Amino acid sequence: MNRKENISEDGNITSGKNISNWTDSVSPIVFKPLTEDLETDIVIIGGGLAGISIAYCLTQEGRKVILVEDGYIGSGETGRTTAHIVTALDNRYYTLENIFGEEDTQLIAESHIAAIDFIENTIKKEKINCEFERLNGYLFLHPSDEKVSLDKELEAASRAGIKVIDTAKVPGLISNEERCICFPEQAQFHPLKYLKGLCAIIEQKGGKIFTETHAAKIDHKGLTTKTGYTIKANHIVVATNSPVNDKYAVHLKQTAFRTYVIGALIKKDSLPKALWWDTGDQKENPTFPPYHYVRVQTYNDQYDLLISGGEDHQTGDENETSHAADKIYSSLEKWTREYFPIEEIKYRWSGQVMEPMDSIAYIGRNPLDRDNVYIVTGDSGNGMTHCTIAGMLITDLITGKENKWKQIYAPSRFTLKTSSHFFKEAMYTLKDFLKTSPDHKDAAELSSVKTGEGKIVNLQQKKYGVFRDKENLLHIVSAKCAHLGCTVAWNKDEQTWDCPCHGSRYTYKGKVINGPANNDLAAYSEMYALETK
């Protein structure tokens, strides 16, 4: 099945040109747009896993909920995920212990165990057919990492209360990879089928969902949509992946990364259903070592799909030669072929993850705001569990129940232990990017923009982002990010304008698709519509 025909011209169904196997295998989850003013108890902005999980939990408590989504349900990062549902977190337990101490690390572990159980129980209770299964996950060493990492992780994970088994050989790999840590009782599912199932229950319980409804103004009283309708509410939950209601507080404490995925055919049943991860390239970036993550998904009668991801880099530096997308997909394929018996590559896509300065998500009351405004962000690559934790935790905050995870996930926290290293790393990457990116050093000539290409161009002493489409039409947008004004960079692979500062992203027409920006880039394309090569 091919769902490409469902993508609107500027990528409305998903946050980029490429589509994932999830988007390709189900119909878009569509509701009517909002066309009237409404009042409710709780309004939720964002129809990804976070928003939908929160809406589900609140409607289970009998609360009146309205959710608005400016694309379709799951058209953000949830439609681009690989949906490993894990307690084997991207950041090692020994790192978490170092940051939070043993006791709080146990609470973190407990929250992720609870999240997997919650997903499993909900699927059973609501009879959601979303290919959920429990399976083993295997963590093995990246060649740049030291053997002692596995020992340290085994000990720290057990201290945190996670089941781990020291295992002599990694099952399923064609290379002779030796020792690994087995994490039993991990899980996987089809994320969009799960969302669809939850949406049906939310509606049955009286919740209302509106898609293609952009919340243009958000405050503690509610929201106003781009088309001018209002929703007044007692509680406002901003679940837009990167909060669009906050300019500074949380965005200075996290960094946006681009991560890449291929979906490749493997002979049916040639691999066990399992999850595999390496410990990450310590040389590339010791703070956030880019690692590989792999799973198997049923595809057709002859083949399964091996979904392999990794090769992360900071958002906005795709133009740097070492991070050109074609090169990245090639190294991802090369790495995958070394370890797994893959055949034809069927899918290539990328997405954005938010890396918080201290490794775990920000879930709770929005800092420097009224007490009735809540946010969820900083997925740290473990969004399946973090979004589910948000469902439970934000529901408790709204309903006034005690929740022992409240302090750990509080968005107002500031972790001194990691701050200097985090800021040094973030500034270094940003400076390095600004220095080396040709688009930023010298703006290009308008005539040099080839078909299918985007470039930053100087016009009348101002910088513009220019994309030339197949019809030779030039789409010209302001190059100044609508968040805090950094210059956006062209993402050739997804055909979007991406901001290197805090991860805002826009379609080639300038429509905002990722926060923190909540406004489009000013577009001037009509002015230059007749420009030729």
Ligand X SMILES: Cc1cc2nc3c(=O)[nH]c(=O)nc-3n(C[C@H](O)[C@H](O)[C@H](O)COP(=O)(O)OP(=O)(O)OC[C@H]3O[C@@H](n4cnc5c(N)ncnc54)[C@H](O)[C@@H]3O)c2cc1C
Q: Does 76 interact with ligand FES (rule: CB under 6 A)?
A: no
| Cβ-contact 139, 153 below 8 angstroms | yes
What DSSP line would sit under 262-331, residue for residue? EEEEEETTSS-S-EEEE---TTT-SSS----EEEEEE-SSSEEEEEEEEEEEETT-TTSGGG-HHHHHHH
Q: HSE-up of 201 (CA within 13 Å, CB side)? A: 24
What DSSP line would sit under 408-467, residue for residue? HH-TT---HHHHHHHHHHHHHHHHHHHHH-HHHHSPBPGGG--BT-EEEEEETTEEEEEE
Q: State the binding partner of 297 from ligand FES, ligand X, none, CB within 5 to 8 A by kind.
A: none
Which region among 63-71, 420-428, 439-447, 462-470 touches ligand X (by CB under 6 A)?
A: 63-71
> Which of 192, 275, 426, 501 is the binder for ligand FES (CB under 6 A)?
501
Which region among 19-27, 200-208, 453-461, 476-484 touches ligand FES (by CB under 6 A)?
A: 476-484
> Which of 11, 77, 119, 493 is the binder for ligand X (CB under 6 A)?
77
Q: State the binding partner of 379 from ligand FES, ligand X, none, CB within 5 to 8 A by kind.
A: ligand X
User: Binding-site residue total for ligand FES (CB under 6 A)?
Assistant: 12
Q: Does 208 interact with ligand X (rule: CB under 6 A)?
A: no
Give me the least distance between CB of 377 and ligand FES, in Å please: 13
Could you say which residues in the range 227-256 bind ligand FES, by CB under 6 A? none
End-to-end CA distance of the chain, in Å?
37
> Which of 502, 509, 518, 521 is the binder for ligand FES (CB under 6 A)?
502
Which two three-digit tokens encode residue 278?
């390496």
Per the DSSP assignment, residues forming a β-bridge with 208 are 66
Q: Does 387 interact with ligand X (rule: CB under 6 A)?
A: yes
* Cβ-defined contacts of 321-329 (< 8 Å, 24+): 324/492, 325/260, 325/350, 325/491, 325/492, 325/493, 326/493, 328/260, 329/260, 329/262
Which region among 82-90, 135-143, 277-285, 491-499 touches ligand X (by CB under 6 A)?
A: 82-90
Give me the least distance between CB of 358 and ligand FES, in Å please: 20
**What's the Rg (C-alpha) of the chain?**
22
| Cβ-contact 80, 350 below 8 angstroms | yes
User: Cβ of 20: how many Cβ atoms within 10 Å?
Assistant: 27
| Cβ-contact 261, 309 below 8 angstroms | yes
**Residue of this chain nearest to ligand X (CB atom):** 383
Q: For ligand X, which is the closer residue by CB, 466 or 507?
A: 507
Query: Quick one: which of 381, 343, 171 has its CA closest to 258?
Result: 381
Give me the least distance between CB of 353 and ligand X, in Å please: 5
Residue 304, C-beta contacts closer than 8 angstroms, at least 6 positions apart: 265, 266, 267, 268, 269, 270, 271, 296, 297, 298
| Cβ-contact 238, 99 below 8 angstroms | no
| Cβ-contact 156, 88 below 8 angstroms | no
| Cβ-contact 239, 50 below 8 angstroms | yes
Q: Does 499 interact with ligand X (rule: CB under 6 A)?
A: no
Which region among 164-172, 175-183, 382-390, 477-485 touches ligand FES (by CB under 6 A)?
A: 477-485
Q: For ligand X, which is the closer residue by CB, 390 or 443?
A: 390
Give me the least distance between CB of 479 and ligand FES, in Å please: 11
Which region among 28-36, 161-169, 332-340, 350-358 touches ligand X (by CB under 6 A)?
A: 350-358
Could you say which residues in the range 218-257 bind ligand X, by CB under 6 A? 239-241, 244
DSSP helix/strand/coil, 38: strand
Q: Does 499 interact with ligand FES (rule: CB under 6 A)?
A: yes
Q: Does 264 interact with ligand X (rule: CB under 6 A)?
A: no
Give me the least distance between CB of 319 and ligand FES, in Å please: 16
Q: Does 379 interact with ligand X (rule: CB under 6 A)?
A: yes
Give me the least distance between CB of 524 and ligand X, in Å please: 23
Q: State the binding partner of 75 from ligand X, ligand FES, none, CB within 5 to 8 A by kind.
A: ligand X
| Cβ-contact 513, 461 below 8 angstroms | no
Q: Does 45 interact with ligand X (rule: CB under 6 A)?
A: yes
Could you say which residues in the range 309-328 bind ligand X, by CB under 6 A? 309
Q: For ligand X, which is the closer residue by CB, 110 or 155?
A: 110
Give me the least distance between CB of 256 and ligand FES, in Å please: 8
Query: Quick one: which of 318, 350, 71, 67 has its CA closest to 210?
Result: 67
Give me the least distance between CB of 402 and ligand X, in Å please: 25
Give phi and psi for 245, each to the nearest 5: -100, 0
> Which of 16, 28, 46, 207 is the binder for ligand X (CB under 6 A)?
46
> Which of 40, 95, 211, 504 is the binder for ligand FES (CB under 6 A)?
504
Exposure string over 22-34, b if 16+ CB within 10 A, otherwise e: bbbbbebbbbebb
Could you say which residues in the range 479-498 bind ligand FES, by CB under 6 A? 481, 483-486
Give me the least distance between CB of 515 and ligand X, in Å please: 6
User: How many residues in total does the chain contain?
Assistant: 533
Give residue 226's identity as a one-letter amino acid code: K
Q: For ligand FES, which is the closer residue by CB, 88 or 486?
A: 486
| Cβ-contact 425, 287 below 8 angstroms | yes
> Which of 16, 172, 383, 516 is the binder for ligand FES (CB under 6 A)?
516
DSSP helix/strand/coil, 190: coil
> Which of 83, 115, 342, 357 is the binder for ligand X (CB under 6 A)?
83
**Footprint of ligand FES (CB under 6 A):** 481, 483-486, 499, 501-504, 516-517
Residues that bind ligand X (CB under 6 A): 45-51, 68-71, 75-78, 80-84, 214-215, 239-241, 244, 259, 261, 293, 309, 351-353, 376, 379, 381-385, 387, 515, 518
